[in-house]
Amino acid sequence: MTVGNRRRRQPSLAQLRAFSAVAEHLHFRDAAAAIGMSQPALSGAVSALEETLGVTLVERTTRKVLLSPAGERLSVRAKAVLEDVGALIEEAEALRAPFTGVFRLGVIPTVAPYLLPTVLRQVRVRYPHLDLQVHEEQTASLLEGLAVGRLDLLLLAVSPPAASASPAASGSGRGYSYGAQGVTEMPLFDEDFVLVTPPDHPLGGRVRLPRAVLRELNLLLLDEGHCLRDQALDICREAGRAGVAATTTAAGLSTLVQLVAGGLGVTLLPRTAVEVETSRAGRLRTACFTDPAPSRRIALAMRTGAARAAEYEELAAALREAMADLPVRIVPDAA
């Protein structure tokens, strides 16, 4: 055998296991019994390992087995390799268990403060071995993170299906398309938008507002990049408004509501945010639209064909159940 051939060949785990057993027991029969191998097979495996490595590992006599100087040194390495392989197998077995390991969840800012308490409580109670890591970012950044594998699952807002759409197209179940290639959504619920006004505004407290009122209102919006801004503009277009001259904008809903409290205009809030945000500002009033009210859909989004798809679908079902007490309309799972 040439030196080049020896370098190209690799010892097998069976050979390392046989040699490690011999090194431990210094007896072929005892070593074979310890690892459940026949004595001839074990002797052959050790000989094959010696040929592969090009060194003599054991000195065989009629009375006992001794390790050669090379065998003494390499037995330590062989044991370490076998321990590392065992650890790899154990970790793989642990990862096969559902809801274990690292789980990176991306959430948009207009959802995080209002739904994360429910999400975190569900994860803590139902999946205590899951290492949940939360990332709050705008939608475009979240979708990019999902595509490149930086994030595992997203909690984000999408436009609800048209009332006339068929069940298959409406997203009542898996697969409602966000418009991003390679993304599969699991809808959770639909929630209405509510008009938030200063305390002295004539529309404050109304319960059956027509959408047409949005044509003339001084509507305050979030900054560019927030999907809630785009949804508000879509609602205005549906109401017949050509556009919104946004001379004042805000980076978050809390600031937006403070601007309303200061009398700078009115805004649209998703229903889940109303109680939290209006309680901070004080003396604000709300008004509800006639049915069908403008709304948005909240969904989980994963990479299409994700390895943990079954876990994500189970999590979606658990969240639908947990969110049933919120002022929302749960979207039933089509499965």
**Structural domains of the chain sorted by starting position, each given as residue range(s) with its CATH number in brackets:** 3-96 (1.10.10.10), 101-323 (3.40.190.290)
Q: What is the pLDDT of residues 266-279, one digit of tens each?
A: 999 999 999 999 88
What confidence score (pLDDT) does residue 249 get? Answer: 86
**In the predicted model, what is the mean pLDDT of the chain?**
86
Q: What is the pLDDT of residues 162-188, one digit of tens each?
A: 543 333 333 333 333 455 678 999 999
* pLDDT > 80? residue 160: no
What confidence score (pLDDT) does residue 297 get? Answer: 95
Q: What is the pLDDT of residues 40-86, one digit of tens each?
A: 999 999 999 999 999 999 998 767 789 999 999 999 999 999 999 98
Stretch 32-46: mean pLDDT, rounded?
92
Which stretch of 46-55, 88-97, 220-229, 282-291 has the lowest confidence by average pLDDT?
A: 88-97
What confidence score (pLDDT) does residue 164 get? Answer: 34
CA dist 151 and 163 (Å) reads 32
Q: Give the pLDDT band of residue 7 (cuts 50, 70, 90).
A: low
Provide the whole-model pTM: 0.71
Q: What is the pLDDT of residues 325-334, one digit of tens each?
A: 999 999 987 6
What confidence score (pLDDT) does residue 62 get? Answer: 65
* pLDDT > 80? residue 92: no
